[in-house]
Amino acid sequence: MCQVFAGQDPHRYEHTTRRLRLNGQSTSIRLENSFWDILDEIAEASDQSTPAFISTLHSEVLELHGEPSNFSSLLRCACLVFLDKKKEDAAVKFAAE
């Protein structure tokens, strides 16, 4: 069982740092490549660039909850929410067929 997880391509869990602007402030975000891939997919589905999507998300979180204590963790959890929604949408589509 663990070989499924341990045997994955190391590139998936290597970190990449991207520089972008959040509310006009230059910053950098470091995430595992797998999460960047998902964020790129979310942005594309939203017809936005990844930096624009992340900036929009940050603005909305500020408005709803104030400054997040760990924005990188919020991004990772956003990826999980996206994957859950994608799985739910696929199940609904399958049930309709």
pLDDT in tens, 42-96: 999 999 999 999 999 999 999 999 999 999 999 999 999 999 999 988 888 778 8
Question: Which residue is associated with the tokens 């998936």?
Answer: 12
pLDDT at 91: 83
Contact 17, 29 (CB under 8 A): yes
CATH of domain 2-96: 1.10.3990.20
Amino acid symbol at 64: L
Integer Cα distance of 32 and 23 in angstroms: 23
pLDDT at 26: 95
pLDDT band at 4 (very low <50, low <70, confident <90, very high): confident
Nearest to 22 by CA among 62, 73, 70, 78: 62
Least confident of 3-12, 21-30, 88-97: 88-97
Contact 79, 38 (CB under 8 A): yes
